[in-house]
Amino acid sequence: MNQFRYGLLLVLAVAVAHAASPPPSLERKGGVTRLLVDGQPFLIRGGELSNSNGEPDYLRPSWPKLKLLNLNTVVAPVYWDLVEPREGAFDFATVDSLLADARANGMRLVLLWFGSWKNSMSCYVPGWVKTDLARFPRARDSIGQALEILTPFADANRDADARAFSRLMHHLREADGDLHTVVLVQVENEIGMIPEARDRCPAADAAFSGKVPAGLMDYLAGHRETLSPEIRERWESSGGRPSGTWTEVFGEGPATSEIFMAWSFGTYVEAVAAAGAREYPLPLYANAALIRPGFQPGQYPSAGPLPHLIDVWRAAAPSLGFISPDIYFPNFTEWADRYARGGNPLFIPEALRSTDASVDSLYAFGACSGIGFSPFGIESIQEPAAGLLRASNDLVRQLTPLIVARQGTARMTALLPPSTDSHRPQEIAFGGLVLGVSYERLESPALADGVINEAGDRSATRVPLPAGAIVIQIGADELLIGGIGVTLTFTAPTPGDPHIGILDCEEGVFEDGQWRHVRWLNGDQTHQGRHVRLEPGRFALQRVRLYRYH
């Protein structure tokens, strides 16, 4: 067989394999939701592009940098005003170029539909929508002033968005239905009402004065025991009525206005999402800008897919597979944990591209059974954050089969420093052990340099480093520990039980799914068998076997 015919047959075989596999989907099994791509669990090692950097010609020089970060997915916007510059006239050239470039670089895509709302505002709607206020009305504030926000209470707004999104999904099915470059699609971006808690246009006022829709009331009644505590408390403190106006059911105040707007935004998004899903049933989700401490509805983008409103969004928008947080605040673990509850899979489409992104991703995958993590403005990441993220992504790549096999079980956890500045070790029960966990966020001088690690103070000249780890149980007394800047000790959970010692510890890597030994660490690196230490400044993977003695 000549080389040309062999190559042609190989290409055809790959195409047939993709065509035979279902499109990307969500699989809910054993209390865990996984993203399946070509029928296999897929963890998104992602990076989101800056808002204006998704056009292919501008992005093209950045692809080599993105590959060097060990990403497998780029999170990229699709702009309504570009794909439908004139009503009914669609142009998907930018989408097609993005698909081609992602495939050429071995990447998947998560597409963000910048439709009716982007960071609350309607800045990406086409000019023919922006300028026709009579046909496409705006939200209004309490003095009647129009806002730069399309009102969700206008059928024309909703239907125009839904038609455009359905055309996008139809095009993706035709252009990508066999290759599965696109694995998720986000509907809108950081929806929210601001600077007041609710829309005050005439249609909104009329809806707020009316009855709470039966769809929401039926959902609340059917899920009473599992409702978010905020919704349940507000409903029950107002009498737990089975029906009534918004204020009768939820009481007076901005919190009720936010619930009302969440339902209104959610039902609008449902119409858009359902129209797209009918064309191509890719997993869909919506993301949220989070709440600054002490802020009240209207002071932040209110009514978006926030964790205290998850039940409203689930009732209003069942076509969404999940809701997602954009985490830019230091209390990363708190927000990640809040979104990884009640069967909601954790995907973080936006996070700070700081040095801590490298360990935050380990927490998302290891502690929250996450399906993906994605720092924002990824094309602009600089050292040292870039190098740390590259190493962390490589660690996740190596561990992916082990991670997906243990998500939702007690055989995996992840470690991050507490948000406080406490230097006391954490104690975490795991795998029949108690892990004593301490963190090093400053690179320590070597002993041979004349300075004992704990002595002296050079912090003024040292840059804080990330610290965190993922811990995977692979045997009764055998652990894989991957990360940076973490020291672990091991004790028995019950006083009087045998002591826990380190039988041996080795550093290594996984190559093609097989463990490859690099070096033994039974001397100074484990403090002569007293602890396991992932040194600060360098990601590493260690395999430790424990034993018990009296």
CATH, residue 445: 2.60.220.20
Confidence of residue 189 (pLDDT cuts 50, 70, 90): very high
Is 5 domain-assigned? no
3-state secondary structure at position 228: coil
Summarize pLDDT for 231-244 with one digit per residue, the tens: 999 999 999 999 99
pLDDT over 90, % of the chain: 86
Q: How large is the average pLDDT for residues 179-200? A: 97
Sign of CA dihedral 398, 392, 482, 446: positive
Summarize pLDDT for 193-230 with one digit per residue, the tens: 999 999 999 999 999 999 999 999 999 999 999 999 99
Is 317 domain-assigned? yes
Is 251 domain-assigned? no
User: Do 384 and 477 reside in the same domain of the chain?
Assistant: no
User: Do 364 and 431 reside in the same domain of the chain?
Assistant: no
pLDDT score for 438: 95
Is 9 domain-assigned? no
Write down the residue that tokens 């470059």 correspond to: 181
Q: How large is the average pLDDT for residues 384-400? A: 98
pLDDT score for 19: 53
User: Do 141 and 89 reside in the same domain of the chain?
Assistant: yes
User: Do 198 and 323 reside in the same domain of the chain?
Assistant: yes
User: Do 395 and 477 reside in the same domain of the chain?
Assistant: no
Using N-to-C axis directions, what is the helix angle for 332-339 and 357-366, rounded to 10°?
Answer: 30
pLDDT score for 3: 46
Is 18 a residue whose pLDDT tops 80? no
Confidence of residue 460 (pLDDT cuts 50, 70, 90): very low
User: Do 179 and 61 reside in the same domain of the chain?
Assistant: yes
User: Do 74 and 165 reside in the same domain of the chain?
Assistant: yes
Is 85 a residue whose pLDDT tops 80? yes
Please state the separation of Cα 161 from the chain's center in Å: 25
Domain end call among 384, 399, 414: 399
Domain end call among 356, 382, 399: 399
pLDDT score for 462: 61
Q: Domain range holding 517?
A: 426-549
Domain end call among 399, 434, 463: 399
Is 393 domain-assigned? yes
Is 47 domain-assigned? yes
Q: For all residues of the chain together, what is the average pLDDT?
A: 92
pLDDT score for 452: 47
Is 236 domain-assigned? no
Is 405 domain-assigned? no
Bridge-partner residues for 75, per DSSP?
Answer: 48, 110
Summarize pLDDT for 296-324 with one digit per residue, the tens: 999 999 999 999 999 999 999 999 999 99
Query: For 109-113, 226-230, 424-428, which range has the lowest pLDDT when averaged over its residues?
Result: 424-428
Is 449 a residue whose pLDDT tops 80? no
User: Do 442 and 381 reside in the same domain of the chain?
Assistant: no
Is 463 a residue whose pLDDT tops 90? no
CATH number of domain containing 358: 3.20.20.80
Total domains in the fold of the chain: 2
- b/e burial code for range 239-275 (CB count within 10 A of at least 16 → b): eeeeeeebbebbeeeebbbbbbbbbbbbbbbbbbbbb
User: Do 447 and 483 reside in the same domain of the chain?
Assistant: yes
User: Do 296 and 393 reside in the same domain of the chain?
Assistant: yes
pLDDT score for 446: 59
Write down the residue that tokens 């998104």 correspond to: 44
The C-alpha atoms of residue 355 and residue 16 are separated, in whole angstroms, by 42
User: Do 293 and 345 reside in the same domain of the chain?
Assistant: yes
User: Do 124 and 201 reside in the same domain of the chain?
Assistant: yes
Summarize pLDDT for 334-345 with one digit per residue, the tens: 999 999 988 899
Q: How large is the average pLDDT for residues 28-56? A: 95
The C-alpha atoms of residue 379 and residue 59 are separated, in whole angstroms, by 8
pLDDT score for 425: 85
Confidence of residue 20 (pLDDT cuts 50, 70, 90): low
Question: Which amino acid is present at 393?
Answer: N
